[in-house]
């Protein structure tokens, strides 16, 4: 396999990785997004575990300027700079100091051609792309676009208390197999209901390179304690 242009971008997120998506929870509105990112950065520093954060887009630049951990946008569109009012372009994500973006999150679906183009534009901009999918077959399809990561998250488990690694471990292992058969350079993450170190350990045993999670940290009464438990699985 020849090396790809985005490989240097991927090297900015060490593996295995814990990616914390802040979503649009009120707990991370305004400056609270920085406090949450600082808690993640402190745990990363203390434990040596790779933790990346996805703050709300309105706080992307302020978070990226405040912490040393990799920062990703929650969304990006395949738009060029210029006449694109209200759209999130790869160019502005890059300029904010973020190192990459989620693409096609279950809560912000995109059409196939836009996913492909967003991944391609991220690669050209040196941004890491994390394409979210809902099943093993759709993960295989996404792998053809050569993102850095595919993150499989069954929508019905998102925000719940049962981890994908417990409810549907075969979705994770099947995704790993399918994605590997398409492009072995594409890394697999899993998410939905991931809340404990045991969930993270199982994800890695199933072949994932890490997890993408939200409520287990952002909605926890003690995000730092939640993170310390999560990273104990690595
Ligand atoms: O992007 C991560 C996400 O959709 C999973 O959410 O709350 O189940 O960890 P949660």
pLDDT digit string, tens, across residues 116-140: 999 999 999 999 999 999 999 999 9
Q: How far apart are CA 112 and CA 125, in angstroms?
A: 20
| Sign (positive or negative) of CA dihedral 131, 136, 142, 147 | positive
Q: Counting Cβ atoms within 10 Å, is residue 219 exposed (0-12), middle (13-18) or buried (19+)?
A: middle
Q: Is 104 in the pocket of ligand 1 (CB under 6 A)?
A: no
Assign 12 a pLDDT band (cuts: 50, 70, 90).
Answer: confident
Cα–ligand 1 centroid distance for 212 (angstroms): 7
pTM above 0.85, yes or no: yes
pLDDT cut 70: percent of the chain above it: 96
Inter-CA distances, 31 with 35, 44, 62, 87, 221, Å: 7, 20, 8, 23, 18
Architecture of domain 3-231: Alpha-Beta Barrel (3.20)
Amino acid 10: pLDDT = 65
Q: How far apart are CA 209 and CA 8, in angstroms?
A: 17
Q: Which candidate in 59, 77, 117, 153 is catalytic?
A: 153
Amino acid 66: pLDDT = 97
Does residue 7 have a pLDDT over 60? no
- Domains of the chain by residue range: 3-231
Determine whether 75 is an active site residue: no
Amino acid 11: pLDDT = 73
Amino acid 8: pLDDT = 52
- What angle (nearest 5°) sits at the alpha carbon of residue 86, between those of residues 18 and 106? 40
Q: Is 153 in the pocket of ligand 1 (CB under 6 A)?
A: yes
pLDDT cut 90: percent of the chain above it: 95
Does residue 70 have a pLDDT over 90? yes
| Mean pLDDT of all residues in 39-46 | 98
Does residue 107 have a pLDDT over 70? yes
Query: Which ligand 1 atom is the nearest neighbour of the CA of 216?
Result: 9
The per-residue pLDDT of the chain, averaged, comes to 95
Q: Is 162 in the pocket of ligand 1 (CB under 6 A)?
A: no
Q: Is 21 in the pocket of ligand 1 (CB under 6 A)?
A: yes
Residue pLDDT, tens place only, 145-169:
999 999 999 999 999 999 999 999 9
Residue nearest to atom 3 of ligand 1 (CA): 213
| Mean pLDDT of all residues in 21-48 | 98
Determine whether 198 is an active site residue: no
| Mean pLDDT of all residues in 169-193 | 98
| Mean pLDDT of all residues in 174-185 | 98
| Mean pLDDT of all residues in 35-44 | 98
């Amino acid at each position: 396999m020849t090396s790809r242009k985005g490989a240097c971008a991927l090297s900015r997120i060490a593996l295995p990785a814990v990616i914390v998506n802040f979503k649009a929870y009120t707990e991370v509105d305004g400056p609270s997004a920085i406090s949450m990112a600082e808690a993640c950065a402190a745990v990363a520093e203390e434990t040596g575990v790779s933790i990346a954060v996805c703050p709300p887009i309105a706080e992307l630049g302020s978070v990226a300027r405040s912490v040393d951990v990799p920062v990703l946008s929650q969304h990006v569109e395949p738009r060029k700079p210029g006449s694109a009012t209200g759209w999130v372009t790869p160019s502005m994500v890059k300029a904010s100091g973020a190192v990459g973006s989620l693409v096609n999150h279950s809560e912000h679906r995109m059409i196939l051609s836009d996913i492909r183009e967003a991944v391609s534009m991220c690669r050209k901009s040196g941004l890491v792309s994390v394409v979210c999918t809902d099943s093993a077959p759709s993960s295989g399809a996404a792998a053809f676009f050569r993102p850095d990561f595919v993150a499989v998250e069954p929508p019905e488990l998102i925000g719940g208390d049962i981890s994908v690694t417990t409810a549907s471990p075969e979705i994770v292992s099947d995704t790993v197999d399918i994605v590997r058969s398409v492009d072995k350079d594409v890394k697999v993450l899993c998410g939905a209901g991931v809340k404990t170190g045991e969930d993270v350990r199982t994800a890695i045993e199933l072949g994932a390179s890490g997890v993408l999670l939200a409520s287990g940290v952002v909605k926890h009464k003690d995000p730092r304690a939640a993170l310390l438990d999560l990273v104990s699985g690595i």
